[in-house]
Structures are given as structure tokens and as C-alpha cells.
Amino acid sequence: MNSKKIIALCAGIAAVFCSCQKENFKEVENIAFKQEKFSMKEGETMKLGPDNVVITPPEAKEFLNMDKAELISDNKASVSVDTSASGFIVKALFEGSSTITMKFTDTHGNIKTATATVEVGTAHEYVDLGLSVKWAVCNIGAETAEAYGKYFAWGETASKEKYETSNYAHCKGEPDTFTKYCTSIDKGESVDDKTVLESVDDAAAVLWGETWRMPTKEEVDELVKSLEWSITIGKTTIFTGRAKNGATIVIPAGGYRQSKLSGEGSAYFWSSTLVGNNCSQAYYFFGEEDWFDEGEAAMSIEKYGRMIGLPVRPVRVR
């Protein structure tokens, strides 16, 4: 058989093959996620891949390039997509809504898409008091606004039985041996001049996620001065602050911890700010019954040794 006949034969076979392919091709009529809406909490992740979509007709699936699927979020501030891992990892970043689109290309170059909504909610309630930041409704570790919650030394992210110099995370177990957040050579081996907690040492950021942090001294001061405060004395004494917009915040009189719980009847929680000229201390919110006017609340911002255990009341980062 000469070369011309061979070429003609191959061309004929190719034509028949292409014709068969065209006859067998099934175009996708519809593609959709198995559910139209996903609900997530800030910080949560979920795996979402091609197996999470329904293709109609089913036999059209073999004509889609499944291994080259793409997933896109239209609100990256609320929902991110990580494509570096096997499959797609969707992460809820901040409360809000995002439309996610999974895109496929079939063997004929047609683009097919499936869309769904991801609703992101916060895992912890907060209140808008019309101030520079929004405040959490509860202390860390508390399930209600009136509950004390957990106690933390300043700059530590885990609660413990005793709060003392010997077991403080940022010193060597003795007075004036600070290893971090040191503003004077008399207080530690080296000076770093850090006066605000980094996120790795912020109990709110570590335990509640990147959308929360501990309040600064200025934010605590704003809370103290901007609200009208009252006190309710009972089995659990609480301080209630009412904002100009009518919203309220409740702070329980949970006292403080060293070797045991003390100071119940007064309200405390840490700020994230160190006392610059005395790095042994940090600023905190303080509420007590007014000494001169029984039944009235007296609120202030004070400073105390950073090894002591106080509650933490987070604020929203955004």
C-alpha cells in the first residue's frame, strides 16, 4: 500500500472517531451544588469539591474536566478559598454573605457553573454601643452575660489554678525578671518597649479567633466614660452600662484570682495595654459600689500587677 493510500486511510479512521465522539458527547444541561446555602461560623472550615455538585444528565460528567474545576468567592473578606490542598477548603473569615461559584470546562470548551451562598455568622454575640468598637456580650468562658467566665494573667491565653510570679508566662519565676513586655532594664534582662499585647498573647484573639481581641486602655476608658452605669446587688452583683443609643452591656462583679477567688462584689477585666512607666502592671476595667452614694455604681480604669487573674471581655476587630 503506497503512502497516499495510508494517509487517506488514517484520515478516514480519524473522521469516523471524531464523528463517534461527537455523537457520544453529552452536554451538561444543569449543574448545581447539593445544597443552595451553607451556614458557617467565623473561623470554621469545610471541604468543598466536585463531589458536592449534582450534574444533569449524570452521563455528561465524563465530558467535564473535573480535575480542573475552579472555586471562587465573590466576598473574600467574608469567605476565602484555599486551592493548595486536595480539594477546596472554604474558610469563614468574618460575618457576612458570599456567593461561591464552582466552574467547570467540558471537552468542547464550554464553561459550566454551579453557585451557592455561604452565610457566615459570629460564634459569639456582641453589642453595638455606638462607640469606637463593638463589645462582646459575655466574658471569655461564660455562657451568659452575668457569668464570671475564665480568669487570665495579663498576656496569658490559658486559665490556671493559681496566679503568681512563679508560674507567670512572661518572666523567669522571680520579681523583675520579665522576658517580654519590658520597658525598663530594672524589670528584666532586656527591654523590648512593647506596651500592647501581640495577638499571640491576647486571650481573645487566641481563644475566639482573629475577629476578636482584648480592648485597649483607650477603649476601656471610652466604655467607662461614655455609658450611664448602674449596679444591681444580689446573688451575683452586676453592673449595667446604658449607651446613648439605648443599647446596654452587663459586666458581672466576678472579682479576681490569685490562690483563690477574691474581690467578688467588684467588676474587673483586663485591657491589652501595659503601664508604660511600670511594666509590672497593666490597665484594667474596674467597677464597684460607690463608697459615698450607696447603691450607685462607680466605674474607673485602674492598674494592677499583671500576674493576677482577671476576666477578659473581648471587642470586635472590625
Same-domain pairing of 117 and 150: no
User: Average pLDDT of the chain?
Assistant: 91
Which range marks the domain in which residue 251 is found?
A: 126-316
Is residue 61 pLDDT above 60, yes or no? yes
**Taking residues 74-95, what's their average pLDDT?**
89
Question: How many domains does the chain fold into?
Answer: 2
What is the DSSP track for 16-46? HHHHHHHHH----SEEEESSSEEEEETT-EE
What are the distances in angstroms from CA 135 to CA 149, 266, 290, 315?
16, 20, 24, 5
The answer as to whether 208 is a domain residue is yes
The domain boundary residue, chosen from 121, 155, 170: 121
- Residue, of 21 and 201, whose pLDDT is higher: 201
With CA atoms as reference, report the closest residue to 180 among 160, 210, 202.
202
Is residue 204 pLDDT above 90, yes or no? yes
- Residue, of 66 and 246, whose pLDDT is higher: 246
Q: 257 φ, ψ to 5°?
A: -125, 135
The answer as to whether 63 is a domain residue is yes
pLDDT at position 86: 66
Per the CB < 8 A criterion, the answer to whether 71 and 48 are in contact is yes
The domain boundary residue, chosen from 67, 95, 121: 121
Q: The CATH number of the domain where 37 resides is what? A: 2.60.40.1080
Integer-rounded Cα radius of gyration of the chain: 30
Per the CB < 8 A criterion, the answer to whether 312 and 152 are in contact is yes
The answer as to whether 179 is a domain residue is yes
Percentage of the chain with pLDDT > 90?
81
pLDDT at position 19: 44
pLDDT at position 16: 42
pLDDT at position 20: 43
Same-domain pairing of 33 and 62: yes
Is residue 14 pLDDT above 70, yes or no? no
Per the CB < 8 A criterion, the answer to whether 33 and 46 are in contact is no
pLDDT at position 89: 94
The answer as to whether 19 is a domain residue is no
Question: Where is 269: in which H helix or E strand?
Answer: strand 267-274
Is residue 18 pLDDT above 60, yes or no? no
Same-domain pairing of 249 and 312: yes
